[in-house]
Structures are given as C-alpha cells and as structure tokens.
Structure 1
Amino acid sequence: MIRIHKEGIQMGLAKTLKKLENLHLQKPDKLLTMYLNTDRRDPDQQGGKWKIALKNGLNSFEEYLDLSNEEERKRLASIRDRVETYVLSQERDLPRSMVVFASEDSGIWETFELQVPVKTNFYWEEFAVLDQLKELDASHPLTGLILLQQNQVKVIQSHFGQVEDTELFHFDLDTEEWRRHAGPQPADINIGSNGGSANQDDHFRERLEANQKRWYKSLGSKLDQEAASRHWNKIILVGDKGTGQLLSENMSKRIDDIVQKNLLNTKEEKVLEEIFA
C-alpha cells in the first residue's frame, strides 16, 4: 500500500506531486531525492542488493560533502538516519520500490512505497527530482479496477500502480439493490437479510440468471457515477469474460480492459501485482 507522510497527514498523490513540483529550497537547505529499486523479482536485486545500493548511494554523498561542505554533510547525516530507519522498517513487507524526498531545515518528509519498479538514483539538490514519478504518473494513471463475482463487486482505485482507496458493493436480494458496504471487508457477505444459506445461494443464482441484465444495468449506472466523481483516467474490469462483457455493455464510460481472473477475495496489493505485473 502506498503511504504518503507529511507530519502524519496523508495527502493524495496528485497533490503531493504538485507540491513537490513547486518546491524550491533556500541555501543552505538541501533536499535528498531517493529512488530505490527493492524489487525482489528483479534478478539484479537478488540477495538484498538494494541494501548495498542504499548504503553506497548515501556514502557517496557523505564522502563528497565531507570534503566540500561540512554544514551540508551534517544535514545529510541527520536525514540519512531517518531514511535508513524508514527503508529497513519496510523489509518484512518489501514493496517493489521506494521513493523519498527529505530535507533537514524545512522538514520535508514525503515517502512513496510503490508496487512498480524504479531505477535506483540519489540526488542532493534545492529542488525535487521528479522525472521518474512523472513517467509513472503517465504509465499508471488514476485507475478504477472493478472486481466482479456474482453478488459482490470490489472497486479499487489505484494511482502509480498503488492502492488509493477500496470500496465494496453487494447485491441485496431482498431489496434488489446494489449497496455500498460500510466498514472493513467481511470474510463473507450475506446475500439477503436472512443470511447466506446454501438454499439462498441456489435461489440467488437462479434469480441472477433470470435478472442479470437488469441488475447489471443498475450496477453499470452506479459505477458510471463512481468513475465520474473520482475522475478515473482508466477503467479495468476483472472477472469472468461473460460478466465483464455484460457490465461493459451497461456502462457509458469507456472500459480499457477486461481481465479474466477471479481476484475479488485477493488482497488489494496482490490484485495490483496481478494486473500490472
């Protein structure tokens, strides 16, 4: 999952990127920009090579500043402790890459934990180096992934190949309405108000077959509203081909892709790995 931290307040990716674009520090303050590839699937990253890259990248700056600017070296040393602590704290659930923007005097601290790879690079400037983030923004725009499975629909909003938000809808057999599920995702959602018995499962399937087009027309309208209000640049349907095609026909928004996989009960981050691998 992506976490963007600024004094404990979570900000949207677009806002954070815009803020960094407009950032220009005043001397002697400097900003560390770090792109670190931690992708375990990359053959060049086997055996924890990212740790060596992290150490070497920071060492090279410290060695240079030790000779040229003692004040800046002290600032970097203070930032380095925080950066290394942050990176190593992610080791048990390592993302594919990490991006950090950090300064000592102005207290800038922005971190991105990404499930898309970056090229390892370090910069020590009065501004943020955003080239790779901008490339990722173009290749992984604000996307709505719609996961379908009978009476349940999960909507995952992603940006930069990261989970920004998740919502779950279920079809209430009693009211014949798609309802937004509030609170944490349950292990199983009841089909009707009386529970999810085997008889109800059979009854739901029979009614689904008879009323599928009408029910999915209602769902399509609801998802069109979601797409418009969230300003999605891309929409991907995930489910069996028939259901995906039916929903696509009942949405006015353009569907960019239909992925034939059953991923509704898969952890959101794993879903993105499957879709964007």
Structure 2
Amino acid sequence: MIYQERIAKLRNLILQKPDKMLSLYLNTDRRDQEQQDGKWKIALKTGFNRLEEYLKVSSEEELKRLHSIRQKVEKYIENLGRKRPRGIVIFASEDSGVWEVFELQVPVETRFYWEERPVLDQLTELHKQYPLTALILMQQNQVKILKTNFAHLEGSETIEVDLVFDDWRKNEGPSHVNSSMGGKAVKSANQVDHFEDRVKENQYRWIKSLGSKLDKKIADEKFEKVILVGDKEEGKMLDKNMNKQIDTIIQKNLFNENEHRVVEKLFDVNK
C-alpha cells in the first residue's frame, strides 16, 4: 500500500474508548545541527515522560496502554541503528493494534499526541510539498524515470531508443557519383544533412511514442506530480504529446548523475 493510501486509511480511523492513538513525529536528522549528539533520544524520552505524567493523574488504564506502545516504539527506533531516516512518523494504538510507520527523508518537527484519532496535519503538509512524483530525466534518445515519494527515491527505470533504426545507417564511405573532390564534398554534405533530418524525424516519433508510454506509466504508478529535467524544447514537445500535464520543466542535464543526489538537488531537501 502506497503512502497516500495509508494516509487516507488513517484519516478515516476513529478509535473506540478506552482505546487511544499515539501520533509521534520525531526529528532524527543527523544533518540538523540541533540533532547532533543524539538529541533526538532526549526529545523522545522527554515526550513520553510528559505524556506519562499527564496520564498518571487522568487515567491509569491509558497509562498502561502508553507504556506498552512506548516499549514497541523505542525498540523499533533502536533497531534502525545507523539506517535511521531524517524523520520518523508513527501512529500506534494498543487495543485496536494500529501500527503505521513512515520513514521519511525529509525532516519533521518533533511532536507527541495522545488522542482518539491520528493527528495527520504535519504529514499531510509534507505530502503536499513532496507528493508521489515522477522525475523524468531526458538526454537525447534516453529517458530515466525516478519514482520518488516524500522526496525519497523508491526506484528508477531507463528507456532508450536507436534514433537511426536498424534499416537505415549513416553512410560514412566515399561518394562514387563524382570523380572530383568537389563532388564528393557536396555528396558527403548532403548525406550528413539527410542523416540529421532522419534523426530529427525519428526523434519526433520517439518523443510521440514516449508520451504514450509515460501516460501509461503515470496512470499505473498513480503519480501525482511530473517533473521533467532536460532540454526545454524537447520537454515542451513531450508535454504536447501527453495526456498528463508536466508540472515543471527544468533545463538541466542530470541524466548521468547519482540518482540520490539528483533527488536531493531537485527537492532541495538539505535546506
């Protein structure tokens, strides 16, 4: 189940008393100066302690439920070790057995909630900023599709085509039409022009065909946003040949760069 479906499921969830829901947002970003030296551990401990102090006065039954959930949460985060993401969001309840974890590569603001339904405000806002996005990297006859969710790279696919095709090849040999050097030069220039025209024609067909393939890919993957990175003119041509509108076209060549770095650059998640 993709993140968006899980969020929708939580949005419709209401617990029955005396069950309660822990909504936990924890900033575990090692790149954040304020989170150095394991400060997230202090924040986690402090947040749970404050909840427990409140429940000692208001409800011993809820306190027992929170104790059980706390042990599960602390064990889960401890087991992540160095693989901890930048932000962790957990929704958990004892009686109904709800356990939903979102490991995010974007920072969150540490918050604790103990209520009858999940508190989704911060997660919903992050989803608006970083929806399920297709990053389409174009480079001549190659296209790479990066699937990202909450600015996290989930997978990639590369499509490539031979713009010359098997039944036609550039003729680089000498011309036999003219015996003079001038005739050979003219013939060679014509061959080059004809070759380039064919490549452009095939490239247009390729982009038109690519538009259909991308429409299907976007529909199958349920992408919410499409960002194209490459030549703007080719991007505009591709946009005209797609049913799904391209949200943004960025004039850059990032095709051969590290895919994780590409995601970080385009989403600016290091700010």
TM range (shorter): 0.7 to 0.9
Partner of 1:238: 229
Shift of 1:263: 4.5
For each residue in 1:63-84, what CA deviation from the matched residue of structure 2 results, as whole angstroms up to 9, or x when unmatched? 3223432222221121112211
Partner of 1:92: 82
Shift of 1:99: 0.5
Q: CA RMSD in A?
A: 2.9
1:251 to 1:272, Cα distance in 2 relative to 1, 3 A: same
Unaligned 5+ segments in structure 2 are 167-195
Partner of 2:67: 77
- State TM-score, norm by structure 1: 0.73
Shift of 1:30: 1.2
Choose the corresponding residue for 2:100, options 107, 110, 114: 110
Whether the 8 Å CA contact 1:148–1:264 is kept in 2: the answer is no
Whether the 8 Å CA contact 2:164–2:199 is kept in 1: the answer is no
Whether the 8 Å CA contact 1:38–1:97 is kept in 2: the answer is yes
Mapped to 1, the partners of 2:76 and 2:134 lie a distance apart of: 30
For residues 17-32 of structure 1, the aligned pairs below 5 Å read 17-32=7-22
For each residue in 1:3-25, what CA deviation from the matched residue of structure 2 results, as whole angstroms up to 9, or x when unmatched? xxxxxxxx222221121111111
Mapped to 1, the partners of 2:222 and 2:153 lie a distance apart of: 15
For each residue in 1:237-270, what CA deviation from the matched residue of structure 2 results, as whole angstroms up to 9, or x when unmatched? 1235565455345445322222314145634x54
1:208 to 1:42, Cα distance in 2 relative to 1, 3 A: farther
Whether the 8 Å CA contact 1:248–1:255 is kept in 2: the answer is yes
* Greater per-residue helix proportion: 2
- State TM-score, norm by structure 2: 0.75
For each residue in 1:63-112, what CA deviation from the matched residue of structure 2 results, as whole angstroms up to 9, or x when unmatched? 32234322222211211122112223334133221100011111100010
Unaligned 5+ segments in structure 1 are 1-10, 177-205
Mapped to 1, the partners of 2:243 and 2:15 lie a distance apart of: 46
Whether 2:202 is the aligned partner of 1:211: answer yes
* Larger Cα-atom Rg: 2
Q: Sequence identity of aligned pairs in percent?
A: 56
Mapped to 2, the partners of 1:92 and 1:118 lie a distance apart of: 18
